[in-house]
Amino acid sequence: MVTLTRQRVEQLFDSFRGEKIFVIGDLMIDRYLRGRVSRLSPEAPVPVVEMDSETYHFGGAANVALNLQTLGCDPILIGLVGEDEYGRRFEQLLKDNNLSSEGIIFTRDRPTTVKTRIIGDNQHLARVDIERIVYSGEESEKKLLQRIKSLFPLGKAVILEDYNKGVLTERVIAETLSLAQVQEKISTVDPKFINFMAYRNPTVFKPNIRETSQALGKLLDDETKVEQAGFELLERLKAQSVLLTRGADGMSLFEQNRQVQHIATRTRKVADVSGAGDTVIATMTAALVGGANFREAATLANSAAGIVCEEVGIVAIQAERLKKVLLEQDRL
For residue 208, list its beta bridge partners: 245
Query: Which residue, 289, 197, 278, is CA-closest to 239?
Result: 197
pLDDT at 128: 95
The pLDDT mean for the chain works out to 91
DSSP state of 208: B
Confidence at 165, pLDDT banded by 50, 70, 90: very high
pLDDT at 204: 98
Query: Which residue, 316, 20, 12, is CA-closest to 158?
Result: 20
Mean pLDDT of 81-105: 95
Given a cut of 50, is residue 182 above it in pLDDT?
yes
Instruction: Give the model confidence (pLDDT) of 56-74 as tens digits.
Output: 999 999 999 999 999 999 9
Instruction: Give the model confidence (pLDDT) of 127-155 as tens digits.
Output: 999 998 888 788 899 999 999 999 999 99
pLDDT at 1: 63
Query: Which residue, 23, 204, 42, 31, is CA-closest to 131?
Result: 31
- Superfamily for 6-26+62-106+135-329? Ribokinase (3.40.1190.20)
- 3-state DSSP of 149-188: HHHHHHCCEEEEECCCCCCCCHHHHHHHHHHHHHCCCEEE
pLDDT at 312: 57
pLDDT at 267: 57
CA 235 to CA 330: how far, in whole Å? 33
Q: What are the boundaries of each domain within the chain?
A: 6-26+62-106+135-329
Length of the chain in terms of residues written: 332
What is the pTM assigned to this prediction?
0.92
State the Rg of the chain over Cα: 20
Which residues lie below 8 Å from residue 250, measured CB to CB, with a gap of 6+?
Answer: 262, 263, 264, 265, 302
pLDDT at 325: 87
Given a cut of 80, is residue 177 above it in pLDDT?
yes
* Element spanning 70, H or E: helix 61-71
Question: Is 281 within 8 Å of 186 (Cβ atoms)?
Answer: no
Mean pLDDT of 247-269: 84
Q: Percentage of residues in the chain with pLDDT exceeding 90?
A: 77
For residue 32, list its beta bridge partners: 55, 117
CA 261 to CA 167: how far, in whole Å? 33
Q: Which is more confident, 134 or 10?
A: 10
CA 231 to CA 247: how far, in whole Å? 19
pLDDT at 266: 66
Q: Active-site residue numbers?
A: 278
Q: Which is more confident, 167 or 273?
A: 167
CA 250 to CA 267: how far, in whole Å? 9
In the three-class reduction of DSSP (H, G, I as helix; E, B as strand; rest coil), residue 231 is classed as: helix
Given a cut of 50, is residue 173 above it in pLDDT?
yes
- Cα separations (Å) of 325 from 147, 242, 322? 38, 25, 5
pLDDT at 271: 46
* Element spanning 236, H or E: helix 223-237
Query: Which residue, 98, 109, 72, 147, is CA-closest to 300?
Result: 72
Instruction: Give the model confidence (pLDDT) of 277-313 as tens digits.
Output: 899 999 999 999 999 999 999 999 999 988 887 765 6
Query: Which residue, 40, 70, 125, 71, is CA-closest to 300?
Result: 71
* Element spanning 101, H or E: none
CA 59 to CA 30: how far, in whole Å? 5
CA 95 to CA 315: how far, in whole Å? 19
Instruction: Give the model confidence (pLDDT) of 215-244 as tens digits.
Output: 999 999 889 999 999 999 999 999 999 999
pLDDT at 134: 82
Given a cut of 60, is residue 10 above it in pLDDT?
yes
pLDDT at 207: 96
Backbone phi, then psi, for 48, in 5-degree steps?
A: -95, 120
pLDDT at 3: 79
Instruction: Give the model confidence (pLDDT) of 99-118 as tens digits.
Output: 999 999 999 989 999 999 99
For residue 252, list its beta bridge partners: 244, 262
CA 286 to CA 293: how far, in whole Å? 11
Helix axes 209-216, 223-237, angle to 10 degrees: 70
Given a cut of 70, is residue 275 above it in pLDDT?
no
DSSP state of 137: -
